[in-house]
Amino acid sequence: MQYLNPELEEREAVLLSSLALAHVGDAVFELMTRTMLASRGKETANKLHRAAVKLVAAPAQARAAEKLAPQLTEEELGVYKRGRNAKVNSVPKASSVKEYHEATGLEALFGWLYLRGERERLEELFRLAVEED
């Protein structure tokens, strides 16, 4: 298996738990966010960090999930819902339970797409997620 550019087959991806997908998706979403912010030009590390935290926090990811829902395929929506409905043991103080579950669903979707090697779809959904209204 390649760890930087994995391409799991559907049967392999289905075997992973929703929280395992979300674990990977959290890192993918954060890396994409940091890359986007850094590519915009010179900023201090502190400003980059603060901007990234705002975009990867559960409330922002929940808003992104709501924005993306109408654009998802049936299969993607299933992965999102599986992640959203996963049992989590704790919720950060800065978000509601609903926001945290929606963010977990988004992260599961991003993890699933990444692990399946669907880079173009990841890029498309990420752009839609972070686009200003």
User: Among all residues, which ones are annotated catalytic?
Assistant: 26
Task: Give CA–CA dist 48/42, Å, rounded.
Answer: 9
Long-range contacts of 124-132 (CB under 8 A, 24+ apart): 125/68, 125/71, 126/29, 126/32, 126/36, 128/67, 128/68, 128/71, 129/64, 129/65, 129/67, 129/68, 130/33, 130/36, 130/55, 130/64
Q: From the CB of residue 1, how many other CB atoms can be counted at a distance below 10 Å? A: 8
Structure tokens at 82: 């599986």
